[in-house]
Amino acid sequence: MIKSRLISPYDANGSSNLNFATHRSGVYLIYKNGKLRYVGYSGINLYKTCTRLFQRWTKKYGVVTTYYGQDMSAFKVRVILCSSARAEKLEKALIIKYKPKDNPDKLKGYDLNRYEVNAYNEFEAAPVVNWAELPDAPF
């Protein structure tokens, strides 16, 4: 498991700072003004799943969380690269623990006793990586 520091989703020119997550699995945590607002995961393409929340989009059924049109300087993202199976467990553990405001429907049906809380403990202990050491890191 590799955990990033908090980063802005976009640079001053509007280019994504999350390209390193393309075609990788993991969890992302979105903070607005320093407060955790959303936790999500992707088993296939973390970049696409996370950046979609900052774009205009609609879903045929259900409610969509989007931060499109808001001040992007208020947002920071933490990315945790890990296996798809671990990402799903970690997302659930983090949502149960922190109850992010923008994850209300994901909280329904989550039972702390059903999921491995070890995923959360590993997240807390995981080191923050120097992303510059990764070959495709954007900074």
What's the pLDDT tens digit per position in 28-55?
A: 999 999 999 999 999 999 999 998 888 8
Output the pLDDT for position 89: 86
* Residue pLDDT, tens place only, 5-22: 899 998 888 899 999 999
Q: Is the pLDDT of residue 134 over 60?
A: no
- Cβ neighbourhood burial of 58 (10 Å; 0-12, 13-18, 19+): exposed
* pLDDT at residue 59, rounded to an integer: 66
The overall average pLDDT reported for the chain is 80
Cα separation, 65 vs 32, whole angstroms: 13
Q: Helices 118-125 and 84-98 meet at what angle, rounded to 10?
A: 90
- The whole-angstrom separation of Cα 120 and Cα 52 is 25
More confident residue, 1 or 29: 29
Domains within the chain, CATH numbers bracketed: 2-133 (3.40.1440.10)
Query: How far is 123 from 119, CA to CA, in rounded Å?
Result: 6
This prediction's pTM: 0.79
pLDDT of amino acid 129: 54
